[in-house]
């Protein structure tokens, strides 16, 4: 079970990127439901998914295509997840070692989502990246991934945005992140949007220059919002390339099914590359925040009682199970705390003592947990400043207490 880590006391922090999954009691039962968080290391052919086409495994890398021409390979997780959760997926990829056609290697690889009840399979080779259907201009004659809902192509050669892929596109453009909608057989897979790769490229050139990609898919107000970040190699910053693109606006986009499966695919044509995936991590999104107050503003050193009130709040994104609440309370003595939760939410412990707080909370959508921390002022006159990271790591307003 994942945990959102919260800090409280003199320095309070919220990390909203590692939530637990929503309470299954409030959702329909799903067969073979994915348990979050997910980590797939691709250490062997025996893993959490099923392959199709030209897929092999090599020392923690899943190779979707090798450097031969005219290949397509794919992998899909065995288990599905409820589509109303949304997901955050992080993975590493490498594209390297191939031969050029018309001065470019290729073709590329794709992250995709498919209907959790659909048959598994690989899409068309070459510029379709093993995901989309393909054929002539604005018309498909070879099939795409069955029951596809979304494909995010890391497109070296440029074919994933061409008119001969997925029933049309704006035209070939190399080194792009390209979003295509869902489809089945020769129908759909329409172009959605695209963005240039960080630094103008998406090819790594070697495993040593592996890149990391983060994809967020968030259901909100009948929309399905896609955001994407990528770095340009080890020890480089993540850059947001796509922000809140609503995939429901794509032409002929299929209706969102009740469950989804995560997959990867890749393709080569005349241009080739090794296309490899490593270290897939998946969780469900949540957005936690923290607010804090302290009373009184001053107290007598060594005798005055001090109270901090820390309220942890969850927004409407998802329920959070097992949010970790951890911190020390420096400067005070005889520290104790109590916790109260809003209706439907729950404190992992109702109370505790000592300067180290280590507990959990289950927070429903819109729920809160309020921690009331009390202690005795320090024996020597001093000023305690309460300032720390707030929502998603931004600095929150602080306050001082004088003793």
List pLDDT tens digits, range 78-116. Answer: 999 999 889 999 999 999 999 999 999 999 999 999 999
Q: What is the pLDDT of residue 316?
A: 83
Dist CA 42 CA 299 (whole Å): 58
What pTM value is reported for the model? 0.79
Could you check whether 5-13+288-402 and 28-283 share the same CATH topology? no
Q: Which of 386, 391, 389, 352 is nearest to 372 (CA)?
A: 352
Q: What is the pLDDT of residue 299?
A: 65
379 pLDDT band, cuts 50/70/90, is confident
pLDDT of 168 strictly over 50: yes
Q: What is the pLDDT of residue 18?
A: 39
Most confident of the following: 32-46, 101-115, 289-303, 381-395:
101-115
| CATH topology assigned to domain 5-13+288-402 | Immunoglobulin-like (2.60.40)
Dist CA 36 CA 295 (whole Å): 39
Q: What is the pLDDT of residue 384?
A: 58
- Mean pLDDT within 317-333: 84
> For the domain bounded by 28-283, which CATH number is listed?
2.60.120.200
The string of pLDDT tens digits covering residues 348-366 is 999 999 988 889 999 999 9
Query: In 22-33, which positions are buried (b, 16+ CB within 10 angstroms) versus exposed (e)?
Result: bbeeeeeebeeb
Is pLDDT larger for residue 364 or for residue 22? 364
Q: Which residue ranges make up each domain of the chain?
A: 5-13+288-402, 28-283
């Amino acid at each position: 079970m994942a945990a959102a880590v919260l800090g409280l006391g003199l320095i309070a922090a919220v990390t909203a990127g590692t939530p637990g999954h929503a309470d299954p009691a409030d959702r329909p039962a799903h067969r073979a439901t994915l348990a979050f968080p997910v980590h797939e290391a691709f250490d062997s052919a025996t893993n959490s998914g099923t392959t199709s086409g030209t897929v092999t495994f090599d020392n923690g890398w899943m190779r979707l295509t090798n450097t031969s021409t005219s290949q397509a390979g794919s992998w899909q997780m065995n288990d599905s997840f409820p589509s109303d959760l949304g997901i955050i997926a992080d993975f590493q990829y490498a594209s390297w070692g191939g031969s050029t056609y018309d001065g470019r290697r290729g073709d590329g690889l794709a992250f995709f989502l498919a209907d959790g009840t659909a048959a598994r399979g690989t899409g068309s080779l070459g510029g379709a990246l093993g995901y989309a259907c393909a054929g002539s201009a604005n018309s498909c004659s070879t099939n795409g991934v069955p029951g596809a809902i979304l494909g995010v192509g890391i497109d070296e050669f440029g074919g994933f945005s061409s008119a001969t892929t997925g029933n049309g596109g704006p035209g070939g453009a190399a080194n792009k992140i390209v979003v295509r909608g869902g489809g089945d057989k020769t129908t759909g897979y329409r172009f959605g949007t695209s963005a240039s790769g960080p630094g103008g490229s998406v090819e790594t050139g070697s495993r040593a220059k592996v890149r990391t990609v983060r994809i967020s898919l968030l259901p909100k107000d009948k929309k399905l919002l896609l955001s994407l970040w990528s770095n340009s190699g080890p020890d480089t910053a993540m850059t947001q390339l796509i922000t809140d693109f609503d995939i429901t606006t794509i032409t002929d986009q299929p209706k969102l099914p009740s469950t989804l499966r995560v997959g990867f695919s890749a393709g080569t044509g005349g241009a080739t590359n090794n296309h490899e995936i490593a270290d897939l991590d998946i969780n469900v999104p949540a957005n936690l925040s923290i607010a804090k107050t302290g009373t009184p503003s001053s107290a007598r050193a060594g005798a005055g009682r001090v109270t901090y009130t820390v309220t942890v709040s969850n927004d409407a994104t998802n329920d959070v199970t097992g949010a970790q609440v951890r911190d020390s309370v420096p400067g005070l003595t005889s520290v104790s705390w109590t916790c109260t939760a809003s209706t439907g939410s729950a404190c992992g412990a109702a109370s505790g003592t000592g300067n180290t707080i280590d507990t959990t909370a289950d927070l429903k959508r819109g729920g809160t947990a309020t921690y009331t921390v009390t202690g005795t002022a320090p024996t020597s006159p001093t000023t305690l400043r309460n300032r720390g990271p707030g929502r998603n790591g931004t600095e929150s307003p602080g306050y001082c207490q004088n003793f």
